[in-house]
Chains A and B, each alone.
Chain A
Amino acid sequence: MRLDVVLRVATKFMLAPLLLFALYVQFHGDYGPGGGFQAGVIAAAAIILYGLINGLGPVQRIVPVGLLEVLIPGGVLIYVAVGLASMLLGDNFLDYNHLAHDRIHGQEWGVFLVEVGVFLTVFSTMIAIYYAFAGRRRS
């Protein structure tokens, strides 16, 4: 694997566009196809690609397991926190109307934050699954 020049160079060219595309899918999800689920999987695919080419050690320096342990529950907590915030502002749970000065902006903030929570959980879970398979030795 270390000597496979074509794969390594091609991966270097693909990684940045992949991550950029994931961010585009995430933040453009209100106006075109996309959202937290898709963006999370695409970003995780970029990291997994890096891991496939360079091995488990280098990729775990970029995304350590400790970070995953924070991000997986962190996404769900962001989601629940948005719901609780809308409750504190006098609405129902996950009803975003009062999150900003008017209803439309409130909805946009709510959807944005919720999608960020979904992104974090999906992204880190996919990487965790990959680590679990890659970290085992053949018996």
Chain B
Amino acid sequence: MIVHFSQIATILLMVAGLYVVIARGNMVKKLIGLSLFQTSVYLLYILPGKVLGGTPPILDPARAVYANPLPHVLILTAIVVGIATLALGLTLVVRIKEAYGTIEEDEILAKEGPKENLKDRVRNRSKSGRGGTAA
């Protein structure tokens, strides 16, 4: 079991992110948890590429043992795509704040009465919101 210390640590970090996403109602906090989760997945990919005593995969005649470059390529692009999707999520949070005045999930659900027709409610809200900006 102890030889898997790195994977155990990665899983614990990942589960901490999962817990934040499920347990917290605040949407920014949810996105922070999602970032934790995401970053630990990066670590999970990078870990098996490592060889003890190796060097980074930049070829040099003096060296013979290198880390595997393939996971590096996958994660490199994943990080940049991750920030783009994170920014999209944050934009949505800002829009939710503008529409409901809160970013707490419980308060939004409480404002969104269960008996009313959801579609009508959203339509009315967006109408009034547009009027507000024009004025």
A–B contact at 8 Å CB threshold (below): yes
In the bound assembly, the distance between CA atoms of A37 and B98 in angstroms comes to 33
* Chain B residues within an 8 Å CB radius of A129: 84, 87
In the complex, how many residues of chain B place their beta carbon closer than 8 angstroms to a beta carbon of chain A? 15
- A133 B90 Cβ-Cβ under 8 A: yes
Out of B80, B87, B97, B98, name the residue touching A122 (CB < 8 Å).
Answer: B80
Q: Is A125's CB within 8 Å of the partner chain B?
A: yes
Q: Is A9's CB within 8 Å of the partner chain B?
A: no
- B91 A31 Cβ-Cβ under 8 A: no
Knowing A133-B90, A133-B94, A136-B94, say if A125 contacts B84 (CB, 8 Å): yes
Q: Is B109's CB within 8 Å of the partner chain A?
A: no
Q: Is B1's CB within 8 Å of the partner chain A?
A: no
- A139 B98 Cβ-Cβ under 8 A: yes
Q: Is B74's CB within 8 Å of the partner chain A?
A: no
Q: Is B56's CB within 8 Å of the partner chain A?
A: yes
Q: Which of A6-26 contact B (CB under 8 A)?
A: none
A70 to chain B, nearest CB (A): 19
- B91 A132 Cβ-Cβ under 8 A: yes
Q: Which residue of A lies closest to B56 (CB)?
A: A33
Knowing A132-B91, A136-B94, A139-B97, say if A37 contacts B76 (CB, 8 Å): yes
- A37 B80 Cβ-Cβ under 8 A: yes
Mask: chain B, 56-81; 1 = CB below 8 Å from A; 0 = not:
10100000000000000000110110
Q: Which residue of A lies closest to B76 (CB)?
A: A37
Knowing A31-B58, A32-B58, A139-B97, say if A37 contacts B91 (CB, 8 Å): no
* Chain A residues within an 8 Å CB radius of B79: 37
* Chain B residues within an 8 Å CB radius of A133: 90-91, 94
In the bound assembly, the distance between CA atoms of A31 and B97 in angstroms comes to 46
In the bound assembly, the distance between CA atoms of A33 and B56 in angstroms comes to 9
In the bound assembly, the distance between CA atoms of A129 and B98 in angstroms comes to 18
Q: Which of B87-135 contact A (CB under 8 A)?
A: 87, 90-91, 94, 97-98, 101
In the bound assembly, the distance between CA atoms of A74 and B81 in angstroms comes to 18
- Which positions in B face A, CB cutoff 8 Å? 56, 58, 76-77, 79-80, 83-84, 87, 90-91, 94, 97-98, 101
- Which positions in A face B, CB cutoff 8 Å? 31-33, 35, 37, 41, 122, 125-126, 129, 132-133, 136, 139
- Listed by A's residue number, 15 A-B pairs whose Cβ atoms lie within 8 Å are A31-B58, A32-B58, A33-B56, A33-B58, A35-B76, A37-B77, A122-B80, A129-B84, A132-B87, A132-B91, A133-B90, A133-B91, A133-B94, A136-B94, A139-B97
